[in-house]
Structure 1
Amino acid sequence: MAAPLTLLLIVAVTIRAALYRSSLVDIISERVEVVSPLTAWKRVVEGLALLDLGVSPYAGDVFHETPLIIYLFHFVIDYAEITFMLADVITAVALYMSAQEYNKQVFRKQRFALEADRYPMDCIELIRSPKEMYYIPLKVAMFYLLNPFTILSCVAKATCGLNNAVISLFILATIKGNVLLSAIFLSLATYQSIYPLTLCASALLYLMQRQYIPVNPRRASFWWFVAQYAFMYLGSLFVIVGLSFFLLGSWDFLPSVYGFMEHPVFLIFMQLAVISIFKSYPTVGDIALYMAFLPLWNHLHRFLRNIFLVSCVLLSCSALFPVLWHLWIYAGSANSNFYYAITLLFNVAQILLVSDYFYAFLRREHHLTYGLYLKRKDGSEATLVLK
């Protein structure tokens, strides 16, 4: 699979290089769905200029990135485009290798379970095929590299691409069982953005078996809520951020409740999705990371209920974001509620997507334990009747 992966990397880099030379760069780099005050390249450049003048970048309200980012680009500012393309390549390769290693472990456990006759006879059709080991990792890398959200983030030089690279390396180190590298990359990811700290529970399971910034409109419910209740800003901040961390933290207890002790990789996928939804300042680059895992769960497709509806809503909202922004900011024929409504719908669609995969995963596990078809106590086939 090295040749297809190499070809995929060449195509992805070519697309990004061509867009860097186009006139779309300035438009993409200003989109609020693609960049935020934390990840905007313009903010990094301004921070570097202040640093060169001997002024602290954090003295004003311009720069909100970590010191690591500003010192990194202090040396590679002339190669920024190559740096962001390299970050995407590293992320894709890390996800590819993670999917390969995960599939090997899954098929090994599945073979042992089949030899021990742990699966009911009527659920053989739910068993994963060994052929998936060869093409699923490539699809995972493709879902990340050729995802329009990833391409837009890379072209805009949003620093969330660097965060994704660190998180993907953390996932790879965790699946490989390297405790030291896993801890290093998790610490680095948490240093860049405190939200990945919630992935620690998944890492421990596998190995054992925001700061204050100005409120700007963007693709999140946080800005609208705080703007509406500006008279109680501090309270709103605690409610929104506290709610997100409560929801993320509650996932740490789900393995013991829903049987995720044996499936921490799926838990990592769920946590990445929840982080993307409830982040105070999310961008499309955050979505691209967890969506890259979708091919890994293609065996759940038969149990998904709302995938067509969710796909249509996500595509429609993605197209309406710039339209409603233009109507609000430039045309003056709409207000902030229009943009907030499409933001809320986009987040609801993501929640439905995550819930659907969560349901499909639990249902498949139930069938693998109790069989695909209902049976009476005497062993005859039963019929479910709703009253």
Structure 2
Amino acid sequence: MEAGALAAGAALRAALALHPTWPRSLAARNELATPLSALQRLQEGHHLATHLPTPLNPYEAGAVHHPPLALALLGPLTDPHSSQPALSWAAWIAADVLTAWALARVADRRKRRPLVVDDGEKQWTGAWVAALYLFHPFAIATTLARSTTSFSNLFLALAISSAVEGSLITAAFHLSLATHLSLYPVLLLPPLILVAHLATNSPESAERAPRSRVSCAVEGVLAFVGHQAVLLALSRWLTGSWAFLSSVYGVILTIPDLTPNIGLAWYFFIEMFDHFRAFFLVVFALHPLAYVAPLTIHYRKDPLFAAVLLIGAISLLKSYPSLGDWSLWHALLGCYSELLPHVTSPLFHSLLPLYALLLLPSFSHLWLGSNSGNANFFYASTLVWAVAMGGWAVEAGKAWGRREATRGLDDEGRAKVRAGEWKVVQR
């Protein structure tokens, strides 16, 4: 069944890629393409570096924000003058298929606690989780737009899959690749180290001698730093200088490109007075970081769930988010399908994102298409989207807590909770 889902997802993408206008129009959508992931920026950088009589540094103009390795490896595949465009589509489709495969391994190999059948808990198989990602509209649209978010999702999924299997060094390497593309994945290093530590010390592990958290942390950090140093050295060799650092990673922290997207930062800094800008840049940069320690410590018995919540927080708070970031998060939530019976007001939490999805293209068209609106229209729709997705992240954490509290009760206590006589209160 899993192989069938992977084949069907790949075939669907290949068929949609043949449409004469959809890929081009989706590549220009600000909900899918950001300055850090857009196909047009990737093509521009590759053109400046290779197709001019005198090659130019693609980072001097300040419009290209892809890392040098992405320009070198993915740039040739996106050349509009290439005689083999099928190779480009094959690369993006393969990335999505591998992402779905890695997510299926996470769902199948994650150590799960016993289900409470009376509460209606069910666990989705790896095939269902793979299908959730492959047939997710956001993932399909991201592939058709050929956004590099597809590769960020791939390396994140591979890092989580390796950590669940106890392969700490492999997880660190994959996380380093994801960080090299978008910086924020470095925040996932602490929970993934804990995930790998628990997998290594589990009864099913082939290792005989248990390992301490300190030794796993040292090994994981050294592997990550060493691999990142190699990637940066290769980038320095390709470009001949370290100037790419400010264009690739500095832009994530300083947010100089205020191209509209579904995030919270672009409009905020358009309206910001210059003498307040530095302070709020620090606030925006530290905001995702502030969740790492609390989530990792609180969910130390289930650090994989901490990583899932962190991915949701990053997707919400990063400076240049896209809908493609949320496709991975939704699929990871599918690995915790046993939490669904513990979600309160599921209809509300489902309808609010749909309402936001209707507002985003509508208000974008009113502002940028028909000129009958202004930036407030589109930003209002991004705020609705942020409330909807933030609400889902909060509700997922509450559902995890309700389930843990309910599982600690006996049969009589759980029956009273189901009957409404007892209520689970979280502090």
Structure 1 length normalisation: TM-score? Answer: 0.86
User: Which of 221, 224, 231 is the equivalent residue of 2:274?
Assistant: 231
Per the alignment, residue 191 of structure 1 pairs with 180
CA distance in 1, matches of 2:117, 2:49: 63
Letter in 2 for 1:357: A
Deviation at 1:6, TM superposition (A): 2.2
Task: Give the Cα–Cα distance (whole angstroms) in 2 for the partners of residues 353 and 316 of structure 1.
Answer: 14
Unaligned runs of 5+ in 1: 112-122, 376-380
Quick one: which amino acid aligns to residue 126 of structure 2?
Answer: P
Instruction: Tell me if structure 1 keeps the 8 A contact 2:119–2:341.
Output: no
Opposite residue 62 of structure 1, the aligned amino acid is A
Match of 1:125 in 2: 118
**1:297 to partner: Cα distance:** 1.9
Which residues of structure 2 form unaligned runs of 5+?
A: 79-83, 199-248
Correspondent of 1:289 among 294, 315, 328 = 328
Higher relative CO (Cα under 8 Å, sequence separation at least 6) belongs to 1
Q: Deviations over 1:253-307 (max 9, x none)?
A: 3343x3x222111111111111101111100110000100232222222211132
Moved over 6 A (4+): none
Match of residue 14 from structure 1: 11
- One-letter code of the match for 2:150? G
> Quick one: which amino acid aligns to residue 316 of structure 1?
Y
How far residue 177 of structure 1 moved from its aligned partner, in angstroms, is: 0.2
Partner of 2:60: 59
Q: Give 1:85's aligned residue.
A: 93
- Other structure's SS at 1:32 match: coil
- Displacement of 1:18 after TM fit? 2.0
Determine the structure 2 residue equivalent to 1:313. Answer: 352
* Correspondences of 1:201-240 after superposition (within 5 Å): 201-209=190-198, 210-212=249-251, 213-232=256-275, 233-240=277-284
SS at match of 2:146: coil
Shift of 1:338: 1.2
> Which residues of 2 match residues 163-202 of structure 1 at below 5 A?
163-202=152-191
Go from structure 1 to structure 2 and tell me whether the alpha carbon gap of 1:25 and 1:230 turns closer, same or farther (over 3 Å shift): farther
The answer on whether the counterparts of 1:145 and 1:151 sit within 8 Å (CA) in structure 2 is: yes
Q: CA shift at 1:70, angstroms?
A: 0.6
1:207-245 CA distances to partner (integer Å, 9 max, x unpaired)? 222522411111011001101115243333222222233
Distance change >3 Å, CA 266–CA 372, structure 1 → 2:
farther
Worse-superposed segment, 173-182 or 297-306 = 297-306
- Equivalent residue letter for 2:102: A
Change (3 A) 1:326 1:266: same
Q: 1:326 to 1:127 in 2, by over 3 A?
A: closer
State the distance in 1 between where 2:376 and 2:384 align: 12
Range moving further from structure 2, 74-83 or 188-197: 74-83
The alignment partner of 2:28 has SS state of: coil
Q: Is the 8 A contact 2:120 2:341 kept in 1?
A: no
Q: TM-score, normalised by structure 2?
A: 0.78
Partner residue, 2:293: 252
Task: Tell me the residue number matched to 2:112.
Answer: 106
Equivalent residue pairs, number: 354
Compute the displacement of 1:373 (Å): 5.1
CA distance in 1, matches of 2:144, 2:177: 24
Which string of whole-angstrom CA distances, capped at 9 and with x for unpartnered residues, describes residues 320-368 of structure 1? Answer: 2111011111222211111111100101111111111111111111121
Q: Return the alpha-carbon distance in structure 1 between the equivalents of residues 17 and 373 of structure 2.
A: 32
After superposition, what is the alpha-carbon deviation per residue over 1:143-173, rounded to whole angstroms, capped at 9, x for unaligned? 1100000000000000010011111110111
**1:338 lines up with 2:377 in the alignment:** yes
1:160 corresponds to which residue?
A: 149
2:231 is matched with none
Contact 1:41 1:159 in 2 (8 A): yes
* Alignment partner, residue 139 of structure 1: 128
The AA in structure 1 aligned to 2:344 is R
